[in-house]
């Protein structure tokens, strides 16, 4: 079996498991660096496949599809977490897989993830593993209420979790959530949600973008504000956490660490995602080297540049048919930088694209300015009420750095 020499030379082929928009934007960044990308996906006409040099259409568990894919690439990476770690092991026997399958395993299971984070000295909410109703009662005794009961695998965008306010909620929540085991987490009445994206190369050099604030609407990321309007200590702590997580995982690739800032200004890690992340899309337009370029560089063994931000930015996701229908208005709005993912059908809740608005560094506006800057997207008030509430009352812990 031939092993490629890193750094990969121009025209080498990066294999990407997964065909979504994260893969698409990775392919575009890889192309700028002179690499070809080969995508493995079961989905015909996937966003990534539309721009890739080649595609293997196949299931992630299918050994013959995996072997065919591996035979055509120089290195393998992945663009979403719910690929089978067993499948990645099979690929790892054939080609280098970056990040390693072991990293993916940690991120695929909330219990493994929280154990790992705490073991690395990273604070999280208090949590307990729950297999039986008796475990749940004991966990509530230890953590108290309210709390959040979650499945440990395959949860995303708020799916697979229930808020438990009082004891009467426990039985129904336990019954509704599957598969077991579950995890009970203390509820954080957070001041804001932030994230940091870090890249780490095989030589151990790591870089991290500035912390950003993320606002969700109906459990789906709606807005990212870069930088997060938090105090400089909180921002620094968040970056340190992401760099510590990357080092503790011996990561080669990219990682997003989602965190809560609680009302006392404490930073608690919530989730890790060892791949490009929606909260890093702003880096395409506001940084000389985006999260996608850093990802490709780490996977290809190239030197990592600084994760530097030349502008402040607001990123707004375009979700579902309603926001996708604003595309014409977006194109007609000077200053909105448009990104569309090539999805044929705009189903409710589906991420169809995003827009970024840049501001000179250090001049991210407040609520009023952000609303004005995203003007065509603020037109549909009903879908944006949550943001209105946020923007009106926006005051995360601490003051902007």
Q: Give the binding site for ligand AMP (CB under 6 A).
A: 125, 148, 155, 158, 185, 187-188, 193, 216, 258, 270-271
Comparison of 74 and 213: residue with beta carbon closer to ligand AMP: 213
Would you say 264 and 181 are in contact if contact means Cβ atoms under 8 Å apart?
no
Cα Rg of the chain (Å, integer): 21
Asked if 247 contacts 204 with a C-beta cutoff of 8 angstroms, the reply is yes
DSSP for 36-67 reads EEEEEESSTT-TTTTTSSEEEE--TT-HHHHH
- Tell me the closest approach of the beta carbon of residue 315 to ligand AMP, in angstroms: 16
**Are the C-beta atoms of residues 251 and 99 closer than 8 Å to each other?**
yes
**CB of 218: closest distance to ligand AMP in angstroms?**
11
The edge-to-edge listing of strands for the beta sheet with 127-130 is: 127-130, 182-186, 147-151, 161-164
C-alpha 287/C-alpha 285 separation (Å) is: 6
In the bound complex, what is the minimum distance in angstroms from residue 271's beta carbon to ligand AMP? 5
CB of 146 to ligand AMP, least distance (A): 8
Cβ nearer to ligand AMP, comparing 202 with 386: 386
CB of 332 to ligand AMP, least distance (A): 33
**Residue 239 corresponds to which tokens in the numbers above?**
């970056």
Q: Between vectors from CA 204 to CA 289 and to CA 292, what angle results, nearest 5°? A: 25
Task: Using the minimum distance from each CB to ligand AMP, give the nearer residue, 73 or 184.
Answer: 184
Beta-carbon contacts of 203 under 8 Å, excluding residues fewer than 6 positions away, are none
Neighbours of 71 (CB within 10 A): 11
Token pair, residue 182, equals 């579950």
- Is residue 295 within 8 A of residue 22, CB to CB? The reply is no
**CA diameter of the chain:** 61
Nearer to ligand AMP, 270 or 290 (CB): 270
Bridge pairing between strands 36-41 and 13-17: parallel
For ligand AMP, the closer of residues 59 and 135 by Cβ is: 135
Answer whether 202's CB lies under 8 Å from 374's CB: no
How many C-alpha atoms does 177 have within 13 Å on its Cβ side?
A: 31
**CB nearer ligand AMP, residue 189 or residue 345:** 189
Residue 157 or 250 having the CB closest to ligand AMP: 157
Task: Tell me the closest approach of the beta carbon of residue 269 to ligand AMP, in angstroms.
Answer: 11
Considering beta carbons, is residue 144 or 158 the nearer one to ligand AMP? 158
CB of 219 to ligand AMP, least distance (A): 6
Smallest separation (angstroms) from ligand AMP to the CB of 263: 12
Question: Rounded to the nearest whole angstrom, what is the least distance from the CB of residue 349 to ligand AMP in the complex?
Answer: 14
Distances, alpha carbon 344 to alpha carbons 45, 329, 341, in Å: 9, 19, 9
CA gap 247, 311 in Å, rounded: 28
Q: How far, in Å, CA of 392 to CA of 282, rounded?
A: 23
Least distance to ligand AMP from the beta carbon of 191, Å? 11
Cβ proximity to ligand AMP: between 155 and 400 the closer is: 155
Q: Which is nearer to ligand AMP, 207 or 238 (CB)?
A: 238
User: Least CB distance from residue 258 to ligand AMP, whole Å?
Assistant: 6
Residue with tokens 């990273």: 122
Nearer to ligand AMP, 188 or 234 (CB): 188
**What's the rounded Cα separation, in Å, for the pair 245 and 50?**
33
């Amino acid at each position: 079996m031939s092993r490629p020499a890193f750094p990969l030379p121009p025209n080498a082929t990066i294999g990407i498991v997964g065909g979504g928009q994260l893969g698409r934007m990775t392919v575009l960044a890889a192309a700028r660096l002179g690499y070809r990308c080969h995508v493995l996906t079961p989905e015909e006409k996937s966003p990534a496949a539309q721009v890739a040099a080649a595609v293997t259409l196949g299931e992630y568990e299918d050994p013959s599809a995996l072997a065919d894919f591996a035979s055509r690439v120089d290195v393998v990476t992945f663009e979403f977490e719910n690929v089978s770690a067993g499948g990645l092991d099979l690929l790892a026997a054939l080609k280098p897989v970056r990040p390693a399958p072991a990293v993916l395993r940690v991120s695929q299971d909330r219990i493994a993830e929280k154990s790992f984070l705490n073991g690395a000295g990273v604070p999280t909410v208090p949590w307990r593993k729950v297999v039986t109703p008796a475990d749940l009662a004991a966990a509530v005794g230890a953590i108290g209420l309210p709390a959040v009961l979650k499945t440990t695998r395959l949860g995303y965008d708020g799916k697979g979790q229930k808020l438990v306010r009082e004891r009467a909620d426990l039985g129904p929540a336990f019954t509704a959530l599957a598969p077991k085991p579950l995890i009970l987490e203390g509820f954080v009445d957070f001041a804001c949600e932030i994230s940091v994206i870090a890249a780490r190369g095989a030589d151990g050099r790591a870089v991290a973008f500035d912390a950003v604030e993320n606002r969700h609407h109906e459990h789906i990321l709606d807005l990212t504000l870069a930088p997060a309007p938090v105090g400089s200590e909180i921002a620094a702590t968040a970056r340190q956490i992401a760099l510590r997580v990357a080092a503790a995982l011996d990561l080669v690739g990219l990682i997003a660490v989602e965190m809560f800032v609680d009302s006392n200004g404490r930073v608690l890690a919530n989730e890790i995602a060892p791949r490009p992340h929606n909260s890093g899309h702003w880096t395409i337009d506001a940084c000389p080297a985006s999260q996608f370029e850093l990802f490709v560089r780490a996977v290809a063994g190239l030197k990592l540049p600084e994760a530097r931000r030349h502008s402040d930015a607001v990123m707004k996701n375009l979700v579902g048919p309603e926001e996708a229908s604003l595309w014409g208005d977006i194109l007609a709005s000077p200053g909105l930088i448009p990104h569309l993912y090539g999805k044929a059908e705009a189903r409710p809740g589906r991420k169809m694209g995003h827009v970024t608005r840049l501001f000179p560094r250090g001049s991210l506006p407040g609520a009023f300015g952000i609303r004005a800057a995203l003007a065509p997207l603020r037109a549909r008030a009903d879908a944006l009420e949550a943001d209105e509430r946020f923007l009106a009352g926006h005051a995360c812990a601490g003051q902007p750095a």
